[in-house]
A = this chain, B = another copy of it.
């Protein structure tokens, strides 16, 4: 519904600027919409648990660690979020009783985040729901299409991440 409306506008602009890469514009819109729609649904599912998307991501980062511990800075790096934000999320999760801060013996600057028993219980209770949500959203694509999509998105992401960074003064990627 949104998209068709957008498409009219993209077409109108592309008429006036024939050198614009119309398909690339549409694809970026699609990716943005998809990402937003996925996050929206996940957020609404987590809302009932009093969790935000970031908090859930932190919980799963800890849970997915083989040793059951993770340091805020590592999590932030993996999630592309600032250390300051990790401090806040950690505060919230600690006061919610889902996470505890454990001083790291070998590096006294560092803190290990660990799930409490309650935190682990909550993660294990939520994981199937989140998995079901993802499956519900992506399940209409047939397996071959999913494989195709995965390889395409992987190469796309790899390419973009290896692109030279954009110089903010010139606006070019050289």
Q: Chain A: residues with CB nearer than 8 A to chain B?
A: 1-3, 5-6, 9-10, 12-13, 17, 19-21, 23-28, 30-39, 41, 44-45, 47-49, 60-61, 63-66, 78, 80, 124, 127-129, 131, 133-141, 145-146, 148-150, 152-157, 159-161, 163, 165-166, 168-171, 173
Taking the nearest CB of chain B, how far is it from the CB of A9, in angstroms?
4
Main secondary structure of the interface of A (DSSP, over half): helix
Q: Which of B19, B34, B60, B152 contacts A128 (CB 8 A)?
A: B19
Across the interface, do A63 and B13 meet the contact criterion of CB distance under 8 Å?
yes
Q: How far is the CA of A156 from the CA of B170 in the complex (A)?
A: 37
Cα distance A64–B32 when bound, in Å? 19
Q: Could you tell me if A157 and B61 are in contact, using CB atoms closer than 8 angstroms? A: no
8 closest A-B pairs (Cβ-Cβ)? A35-B35, A9-B64, A24-B134, A30-B153, A21-B135, A20-B131, A44-B166, A24-B138
Contact between B64 and A27, CB atoms less than 8 A apart: no
In the bound complex, do residue B134 and residue A155 qualify as a contact, i.e. CB atoms below 8 Å apart? no
Q: Say yes or no: B131 contacts A166, CB within 8 Å.
A: no
Contact of A157 among B33, B78, B129, B156 (CB under 8 A): B33
Known: A17-B124, A34-B157, A34-B160. 14 other contacts (CB 8 A): A2-B80, A9-B60, A9-B61, A9-B64, A10-B64, A13-B60, A13-B63, A23-B150, A25-B131, A27-B146, A30-B157, A32-B38, A41-B163, A138-B156
